[in-house]
A and B are shown apart, each in its own frame.
Chain A
Amino acid sequence: MELLDFARGPALQFAIAVFVLGTVWRLVGVLLLPSSRDMSPAREGAPASWLGGLRTVAGRMWPRKEFVQSTLVLTLGSYVFHIGLAVVVFGLAPHILFIRKLTGLHWPGLPSNLVLGVGVVTLAALCLVLARRITHPVMRLLTHLGDYLSWVLTALPVVTGLLATMHLGGRYETLYALHVLSICALLIWFPFGKLMHAFWFAFSRGATGARFSHRGVNV
């Protein structure tokens, strides 16, 4: 079996299975933990807890004005690589084709040169946030090995994708196979590390928003 066949076949199937089952297991395992309702009388005029929750889910998309300046590099860097990843994953025609095969869903692709450019910018932003993580005393102290692994496994598909698109560093089939394998590694790691924040962020913000809107505080 060629490497590409292995990557696109059993490796990808295994990775998707781990991704789906692991993610569902972790989400359900947390969401089924007992939850104690706040029984204190709500502040007069407080919005319904779901509304307070949603307000904070939306509000935390950007820092409060007090924290904008001190977190600007991190915020912009994070925005660039998050949006960049979304553009690359959902904008490149071959990716859309792959998603179509998997789910039947499809949409028009973006020009490949544009996606290539976005990929380069995304990689640069990822490098920027990594450099900050390594050099900033606070982030260095907080970071665990798993966080670095999350970075590596997020960056690898971007790197291999760029190399494959630009036909740099080897046969196209080999580069393509490495790209698919790097995605497999990302999918397998996803449920276990902090990449799960893609799901947690909404629940976490929502819980805090509900807690404090009940008290008449808009956090």
Chain B
Amino acid sequence: MSTSNTVTAAFDQQGDQDAGTRLDGALRSFVREFGRTPALHVEACVRCGVCAEACHFYQATGDAKYTPALKLEPLRRAYLREISPFAPLIRGLGLVKPLKVQELQQWQELVYDSCNMCGRCTLACPMGIDIAELVRSVRHGMYQAGLMPERLALMDRTAKQWGSPATPAEDLPDILAEIVEEFGEPIPCDLEQADMLVTAAPAELGDHTKAMAAAAKVLNRTGVRWTMHQGGFDASNIGFNNGDVALQERLTRALIDTAIKIGAKTVLLPECGHAYGAARWEAARWYGNNLPVRVIHMTEYLDEVLASGVIKVKQIGDSATFHDPCQIVRRGGLEAAARRVVAALGFQLTELENHGVAGYCCGGGGGVISNQRATPLRYKVFAIKKAQVEATGAKRFLTACGQCRITLEAGAKHTHWDKKVESLLELVADNLID
């Protein structure tokens, strides 16, 4: 690749397989990715570079190596040599060089450290290429090659054992009991029958336990028969982010199968973006079009129970701005639902300069927040969001994704910015009218 000298060679690797085995693993995975749509998308690129104008990593650094289309280079070359209609000609004449494991090592930083798979590039591409989805295809291959950041690999191994990257399933009842004790809101756990299976993101069982209690408060008010369950409780789906498809399937099945087992008709996802991407839009990959349960995001749920009058909230009245989590808005379709919840709370919404489907990512999605070596880069990206929030002059700063909150809070702490990032769920729970 002509670009190899510009890419920092910071990489981790897992396992002790030799370079050839790693390369084979990646290539086999890349080849498996190519159905019609990914092929069309690789074919359609005209190398115009417009995607860079949409990418917060390029915008924040000015470094051309962060151009989204460049992140697809290993996939593109595998496609051209192995799958494309002229593949025999391309291989025979040596028109596209075969991939080397060293190049995959170099690309690790580009697809894991400097891409949130937020899809802003997808929005800008004149050819309509879903670049974010193709980056995920590159991650699938990188996972197979054992070439991912070690922190994410550690979470992957943990999730395989525990069903969550942070919490052993057997600890769930105790953790929930502590949250009940602290906040005084009952949280049903492991009920044998319930109408709704409620799930959490790792933070809600750790740093953001108030969000877990807030969910319980709202749910208890609605009168729905709900439970959390050791069989499937963490919806964050680290497999989806890491490129570990087998783990993604296992974690998805844990949620859906548990819901089926207890007779639940609904799986309620937490305020977590990637949980929505993994379960709402991809569970059907394994269950077909007869998915036996409804999968719904917390923001959607709040919107529904507020609109139907099942719960009522006090009017807060302050000015506020809203950070759109990529996976639930740009890639999830909940832009309007989130704004209806904001309006129900009586906020005077001042939109960010870039908002809705065109909003900038927090910089932490796609596992970047967990990948500690990406922290300096993430802080550079945070500056874009901070400037846009400040420009609104709004008093309150809201969002609807725990991962975004953690990322934005970390950025605020790093820059000594005294802006609190507030969750729509917690605001609804705090302002319920009896």
Q: Once the chains bind, are A204 and B44 in contact (CB under 8 Å)?
A: yes
The A-contacting residues of B in range 33-79, CB under 8 angstroms, are: 34-37, 39-41, 43-50, 52-54, 58, 64-65, 67, 69-70
A74→B95 CA distance, assembly (Å):
28
Q: Once the chains bind, are B130 and A217 in contact (CB under 8 Å)?
A: no
- Chain B residues with Cβ under 8 A from A101's Cβ? none
B110-128: contact bitstring with A at CB < 8 Å (1 yes, 0 no)? 0000000000001111111
A146→B84 CA distance, assembly (Å):
16
Q: Once the chains bind, are B53 and A201 in contact (CB under 8 Å)?
A: no
A41→B281 CA distance, assembly (Å):
8
Residue of B nearest to A139 (CB): B49
Which size bracket describes the interface of B in this complex?
A: 35 or more
Q: Once the chains bind, are B128 and A56 in contact (CB under 8 Å)?
A: yes
Q: Once the chains bind, are B47 and A40 in contact (CB under 8 Å)?
A: no
Known: A60-B126, A205-B128, A208-B128. A40 touches B283 (CB 8 A): yes
Closest beta carbon of chain B to A30's beta carbon, Å: 5
- Chain A residues with Cβ under 8 A from B52's Cβ? 138
Q: Once the chains bind, are B283 and A30 in contact (CB under 8 Å)?
A: no
B333 CB–A CB distance under 8 Å:
yes
Known: A30-B39, A30-B40, A200-B43. A141 touches B3 (CB 8 A): yes
B183 CB–A CB distance under 8 Å:
no
Closest beta carbon of chain B to A105's beta carbon, Å: 28
Closest beta carbon of chain A to B280's beta carbon, Å: 7
- Chain B residues with Cβ under 8 A from A206's Cβ? 128
The B-contacting residues of A in range 160-219, CB under 8 angstroms, are: 192, 194, 196-197, 200-201, 203-209, 211-212, 215-219
Residue of B nearest to A27 (CB): B85
A159→B377 CA distance, assembly (Å):
46
Closest beta carbon of chain A to B328's beta carbon, Å: 10
- Chain B residues with Cβ under 8 A from A146's Cβ? 95
Stretch at the interface among B213-221, B285-293, B341-349, B405-413: B285-293
Residue of A nearest to B48 (CB): A74
A67→B43 CA distance, assembly (Å):
23
A1 CB–B CB distance under 8 Å:
no
Q: Once the chains bind, are A67 and B35 in contact (CB under 8 Å)?
A: no
A36→B39 CA distance, assembly (Å):
13
B357 CB–A CB distance under 8 Å:
yes
Residue of A nearest to B130 (CB): A208
Q: Once the chains bind, are B289 and A39 in contact (CB under 8 Å)?
A: yes
Closest beta carbon of chain A to B245's beta carbon, Å: 13
A63→B54 CA distance, assembly (Å):
11
Q: Once the chains bind, are B40 and A204 in contact (CB under 8 Å)?
A: yes
A31 CB–B CB distance under 8 Å:
yes
Q: Once the chains bind, are A208 and B129 in contact (CB under 8 Å)?
A: yes
List residues of chain A with CB under 8 Å of any chain B CB: 25-26, 28-36, 38-41, 43, 56-57, 60, 63-64, 66-67, 70-71, 74, 78, 136-144, 146-147, 192, 194, 196-197, 200-201, 203-209, 211-212, 215-219
